[in-house]
Amino acid sequence: MNILAKVVLLVDDSQTVRRMIEWALKPLGFKILHAVDGIHALEVLGAETVDLAFVDLNMPRMDGIELIRLVRGDKKLKHLPIILLTTENRDVDRNAALEAGANLYLTKPATPALLRLKAESILGLAPSATTEAPKVQ
């Protein structure tokens, strides 16, 4: 897979948060798109081919859970990998996100290294570790 061909959608009502995630992912060569809430995200998803979405939980107009449910109910979008990234660290929110269809639930703040690792991993781009033990001579 060519990482340069991968498009990541950042859905968060905070421009600062979107910029921080972009700053973490941009060095990997991803094309980054932005949406300010779930409704805006659906507009972007209707116009662009997206390979991964980072979605906030609490947003105006449409929250992350509702966005995930709508994406999972859409024949064309249902397989889109979604990482829910939120400040909420309650089991009820985690369970709701995973039941709605989020692939992964992360809490803010997340380090740039963790964001890169999770993005590469969920897209199948992470370098594979060797399973062979080193040979002893």
Residue 137 has pLDDT above 80, yes or no: no
The pLDDT value recorded for residue 124 is 86
Rounded CA-CA distance 61/40 in Å is 9
Tokens 């380090």 locate to 111
Digit-coded pLDDT (tens) for 20-76:
999 999 988 999 999 999 999 999 999 999 999 999 999 999 999 999 999 999 999
The pLDDT value recorded for residue 127 is 56
The pLDDT value recorded for residue 132 is 41
DSSP type of residue 68: H
* Average pLDDT over the chain, rounded to an integer: 88
State phi, psi for 68 to the nearest 5 degrees. -60, -45
DSSP type of residue 132: S
Q: Which residues lie closer than 8 Å to 38 by C-beta, 6 or more apart?
A: 11, 55, 59, 61, 62, 63, 64, 66, 67, 70
127 torsion bin: left (phi>0), alpha (psi -120 to 50), beta (else): beta
Digit-coded pLDDT (tens) for 20-34:
999 999 988 999 999
Residue 119 has pLDDT above 70, yes or no: yes
pTM of the shown model: 0.86
The pLDDT value recorded for residue 136 is 46
Tokens 């040979």 locate to 135
Please state which CATH class domain 3-122 belongs to. alpha beta
- CA terminus-to-terminus distance, the chain: 37
Question: What percent of the chain stands above pLDDT 90?
Answer: 81
